[in-house]
A = this chain, B = another copy of it.
């Protein structure tokens, strides 16, 4: 998820690590800093892999900026990760939303639709959080008001997400029949 965000934001424009960090921090909605201990090692990994180019530039403070940009390989890597997302990015809503943030970078609408369809198929599998005697419990059957709330909220989110996915998939299929 961190890697995808890095590649995704750098595909828009070259950035130095500090600026990249503030953008990634915002991706959670509420600004929550990405730890440097995660970001800088990730950047080094991507640089070693040949996905990133660095260029030194004078910064506002004392330390010079390391302006980062995607190499052609880095761009290819981003496209590959968007076309064929890892399981977590389909399965985990937070990860999927981050994926969505960059899915517009995929050039082919059919590929975009395929990704959305994967998510939709996953969501269409019946979900249940609790079991009693081996049978799934519905929200109405739970006495605990917190569990009831949890189930209701999860269901509402799921409904809204599926509706959007279906509408968006229809639009994309209209674009490239």
Binding site for B on A (CB under 8 A): 23, 26-30, 32, 91-94, 97, 100-104, 112, 122, 125, 127-131, 144-147, 149-150, 152-154, 156-158, 160-161, 164, 168, 171
Contacts and interface: CB of A to CB of B under 8 A. Distances in A.
Given A101-B147, A147-B104, A152 B127 contact: no
Residue among A28, A101, A128 with max Cβ neighbours from chain B (10 Å): A101
Tell me whether chain A's interface is mostly helix, strand or loop, or mixed.
Answer: helix
Contacts of A32: 91
B145 A168 contact: yes
B26 A130 contact: yes
- The 3 A-B pairs at the shortest CB distance, nearest first, are namely A29-B127, A104-B144, A100-B150
Given A101-B146, A102-B146, A146-B168, 16 more contacts: A23-B130, A23-B131, A26-B131, A29-B128, A30-B125, A92-B94, A93-B94, A97-B154, A101-B147, A101-B150, A104-B146, A149-B164, A152-B164, A153-B160, A153-B161, A153-B164
